């Protein structure tokens, strides 16, 4: 599975992909709380580590919290709560879209680790689907003495951080685009890290 840092970065990117003027919460407190909640949504599928009844060992070998429907459950609840609080129109649309993307980013990233298959269409179908190739490294146990945690985290960040930079710069820096050499370095780091990841033992 991907690291909690990788999932958090996916949520932060989802938040940052909306221009500051269009973000649904303009106050510093509101914006901070919303960003934190998006990160919580992106982390939520890993709640099966904390609740025994949700573990794969209690569910026929399936990580049911990593199904697409399960990943959208919290974003849907969030949308309903925001609606009852008076959030409407474009603000609600942006919140719902960001929540859905943050939620779905988790099974998307874990799927491309290629270690454990995911029941993406549970409960409608119990097929466990595994990626044909592992593009992202698995997350090592987060212990300060665990070499593999740092090594795999470095590889993961090497893949996704340059892509995030290129993506966000393409959205908001049209008048000051990345120079060719900058773009080449970032993509080169990502491709090298991807090659390193694919070669890892799984």
- Separation between Cα atoms, residue 155 and residue 150, nearest integer Å: 9
pLDDT score of 175: 65
Asked if 180 contacts 145 with a C-beta cutoff of 8 angstroms, the reply is no
Count of alpha carbons within 13 Å of 191, Cβ hemisphere only? Answer: 6
pLDDT score of 201: 77
pLDDT (tens digit per residue) in 113-131: 988 899 999 999 999 999 9
pLDDT score of 62: 95
pTM of the entire structure? Answer: 0.93
- Residue 128 burial by Cβ neighbours in a 10 Å radius (0-12, 13-18, 19+): middle
Here the tokens at position 35 are: 């960003």
**Residue partners of 129: CB distance under 8 A and separation at least 6:** 111, 117, 118, 119, 120
Is the model's pLDDT at 94 over the cut of 90? Answer: yes
Is the model's pLDDT at 188 over the cut of 80? Answer: yes
pLDDT (tens digit per residue) in 33-69: 999 999 999 999 999 999 999 999 999 999 999 999 9
């Amino acid at each position: 599975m991907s690291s909690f840092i990788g999932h958090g970065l996916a949520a932060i990117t989802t938040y940052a992909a909306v221009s500051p003027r269009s973000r649904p919460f303009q106050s510093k407190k509101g914006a901070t709380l919303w960003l934190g909640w998006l990160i919580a949504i992106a982390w939520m599928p890993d709640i099966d580590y904390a609740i025994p009844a949700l573990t794969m060992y209690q569910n026929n070998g399936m990580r049911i919290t990593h199904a697409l429907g399960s990943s959208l459950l919290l974003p849907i609840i969030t949308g309903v709560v925001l609606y009852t609080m008076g959030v409407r129109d474009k603000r609600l649309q942006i919140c719902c879209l960001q929540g859905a993307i943050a939620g779905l980013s988790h099974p998307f990233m874990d799927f491309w680790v290629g270690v454990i298959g995911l029941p993406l269409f549970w409960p409608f179908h119990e097929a466990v689907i595994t990626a044909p190739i592992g593009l992202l490294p698995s997350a090592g146990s987060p212990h300060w003495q665990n070499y593999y945690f740092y090594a795999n985290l470095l590889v993961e960040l090497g893949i996704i951080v340059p892509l995030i930079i290129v993506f966000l710069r393409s959205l908001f820096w049209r008048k000051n685009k990345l120079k060719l050499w900058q773009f080449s370095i970032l993509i080169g780091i990502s491709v090298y890290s991807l090659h390193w990841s694919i070669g890892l033992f799984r």
